[in-house]
Amino acid sequence: MNDVNEKGITEVMQYLPMRIQNVIVKMNSQYKSSIKEIRLRSNKPVVIVTEKGCAFLSVLGKISYIMSDNTVILSCDELSDTVKRICGFSLYAHQSEITDGFITLKGGHRVGICGTAVNENGKTISVKDINCINIRIAGEKQGCATEIISNIFTNGLSNIIIAGAPMSGKTTVLRELVRQISDGNAGEYYKCAVMDERCEIAAVNGTEFENNVGINTDVLSNYPKGKGVAQAVRTLSPDMIFCDETSSLDEVKDILNAIMCGVHFAVTVHADSLRDLYKRNVPSRLIGSGLFNYVVMLGTKTNIGKVERIIKVGEKDLENCGNSIACNDMYSFGKSDERKNA
């Protein structure tokens, strides 16, 4: 993982101001590989996020958890120059991404954008005065889905939900899961389709994939999830579809419709804990549909990208967590299983 992280830093460095590049070059590889995020704010210190928390970049090429005189302060012009570089000096090429608040760099690194929204008829058409960007270093982590494969996919495909807090490695695990299933690690070479709405999973560069998503995988990049899922089901006949960050009820509807067509799904959702799964609309709907078989909870902080728990839907502790909400508008697990069997 360290090598992968260092590769990520190298890929991201070309977009940073020369002064910051020079500081990062001075860093030893231990510091470099600990970087998870780089936060750039206009006229503010450069913040580096590591597993241990937020730290500051020092002009000496070190990471300090306390701000000092040596802390690198980013100027307004440097931020503006970085934004231009990230957009490839072509704002129009990232128009829709910018209005959604992010740009994906080569290698699948996601840049979150903060600024002032320009609205027209209630719709954001652009973002001006960008004052902060957050660069998240993406990384492939070979083997992080092996536990999922050996526990869930030994007897064929299943529908699974991968849940975790922000920065828990959901995308990394999903990418590795696609690779392993596509490469035949689940018993046969299943046809996989990836809905890469933010171009983070496969990190498409032209017609090439920068990340390894397996030998039998079709990638639909930049498609809205619903449209991509419908197209994949209609034209690609996938055995399994992989969706990152399912976040709206419309997407849930499209996914459930596709499952009814006989396609299997692996989806990721934001949820800090099992209880959180039920508090949030999207995961509770997915589980409540009775069509998903497993929930995989990921760890955080020092356990980023590691499987914390695998829960079969219908297990008692999962039911207990969802008890109060499940009554409202969804089948209880036992009943939904009965419904499926019937």
Closer CB to other proteins, residue 84 or residue 339?
A: 84
Is residue 147 near other proteins by the rule CB under 8 A? Answer: no
Nearest approach in angstroms of CB 64 to other proteins is: 28
Contact between 106 and other proteins per CB under 8 A:
no
**Smallest gap from residue 73 Cβ to other proteins (A):** 22
Stretch that binds other proteins, among 26-34, 78-86, 234-242, 326-334 (CB under 8 A): 78-86
For residues 39 and 265, give the distance between their C-alpha atoms in angstroms, rounded to a whole number.
Answer: 34
CB of 333 to other proteins, least distance (A): 45
C-beta of 23: minimal distance to other proteins in Å? Answer: 16
Give the number of C-alpha atoms closer than 13 A to the C-alpha of residue 44, restricted to the C-beta side. Answer: 11
Q: How far is the CB of 234 from other proteins (least distance, A)?
A: 24
Euclidean distance between CA atoms 282 and 266, whole angstroms: 14
Answer yes or no whether residue 134 interacts with other proteins by CB under 8 A: no
Tokens representing 52 are: 């241990």
CA angle 238, 242, 248 (to 5 degrees): 120
> What distance in Å separates the CA atoms of residue 257 and residue 246, rounded to the nearest whole number?
14
Q: How many chain residues touch other proteins (CB under 8 A)?
A: 14
By CB under 8 A, residue 117 contacts other proteins: no
* Displacement of CA 120 from its chain's centroid (Å): 29
Nearer to other proteins, 91 or 260 (CB): 91
Q: Is 50 in the site for other proteins (CB under 8 A)?
A: no
Question: Of 16 and 138, which has the nearer Cβ to other proteins?
Answer: 16
Determine how many CB atoms are found less than 10 A away from the CB of residue 90.
9
Q: Angle at Cα 35 formed by Cα 32 and Cα 38, nearest 5°?
A: 115
95 binds other proteins (CB under 8 A): yes
Q: Report residue 81: phi and psi, to 5°.
A: -65, -40
Residue at 127: amino acid letter:
V
Contact residues for other proteins (CB under 8 A)?
18, 81, 84-85, 87-93, 95, 125-126
